[in-house]
């Protein structure tokens, strides 16, 4: 099988048919018109991965409120996925509601470039944030020994949706930024006319500026 590189932000999510714990699905068609998170994990029945699945499920409804689906992936067989989901339900009392891709051939993982050559055949901890137009908007790539922060993934979806809606940028640690708190960033002015417009908007109290290139406002 030809080794593929990880796709880039801005690329279309590749069209693939997958076997999951919810039956056969076509991606990205399954989430047409919705955001979705595809996340890969190294293996079923492993400690860190188990904590991650519980953490994702705990925030499942929050993702749903953002019109954002979840789908997991590893190279384990579907029987392993099903047994692991049963174990989590029986022992940790969390019912995993999202599907998990059984990529036992490695076809999907290869298409997404998420099998690290130094880690054998295990999939790495990758995250793909995909928008309703099936465009990959963000990617995260974790080492096996570090579990993911699901609140940051939620923040990314919220931030991207707000940026799209209002044509703004999202500051560091939003909505708790050290400089602008919960406000959003207005793109830098690119002409003297725009600078003048910013000054007038600031005088009207519509925006706040530290300088003409660093302006912010309430979302």
Q: Secondary structure of the chain in the HEC alphabet?
A: CCCCCCCCCCCECCCEEEEECCEEEEECHHHCCCEEEEEECCCCCCHHHHHHHHHHHHCHHHHHHCCEEEEEEECCCHHHHHHHHHHHHHHHCCCCCCCEEECCCCHHHHHHCCECHHHCCCECEEEEEECCCCEEEEEEEECCCCCCCHHHHHHHHHHHHHHHHHCCECCCCCCCECCCECCEEECCCCCHHHHHHHHHHHHCCCCEEEECCEEEECC
The residue annotated as part of the active site, out of 49, 68, 209, 215, is: 49
Is 68 annotated as catalytic?
A: no
Any idea which residues carry the catalytic annotation?
A: 49
């Amino acid at each position: 099988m030809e080794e593929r590189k990880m796709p880039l932000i801005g690329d279309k999510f590749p069209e693939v048919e997958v076997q999951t714990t919810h039956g056969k699905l076509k991606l990205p068609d399954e989430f047409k018109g919705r955001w979705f998170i595809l996340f890969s994990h190294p293996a079923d029945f492993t400690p860190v991965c188990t904590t991650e699945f519980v953490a994702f499920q705990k925030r499942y409804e929050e993702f749903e409120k953002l019109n954002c689906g979840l789908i997991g992936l590893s190279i384990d067989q579907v029987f392993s996925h099903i047994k692991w989901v049963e174990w989590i339900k029986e022992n940790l009392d969390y019912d995993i509601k999202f599907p998990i891709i059984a990529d036992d051939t490695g076809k999907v993982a290869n298409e997404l470039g998420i099998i690290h050559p130094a880690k054998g055949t295990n999939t790495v901890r990758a995250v793909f944030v995909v928008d309703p137009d099936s465009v990959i908007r963000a990617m995260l790539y974790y080492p096996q020994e570090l579990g993911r922060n699901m609140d940051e993934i939620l923040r990314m979806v919220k931030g991207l949706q707000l940026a799209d809606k209002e044509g703004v940028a999202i500051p560091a640690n939003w909505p708790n930024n050290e400089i602008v708190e919960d406000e959003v960033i207005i793109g830098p002015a690119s002409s003297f006319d725009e600078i003048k417009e910013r000054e007038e908007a600031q005088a009207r109290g519509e925006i706040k500026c530290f300088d003409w290139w660093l302006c912010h406002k309430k979302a």
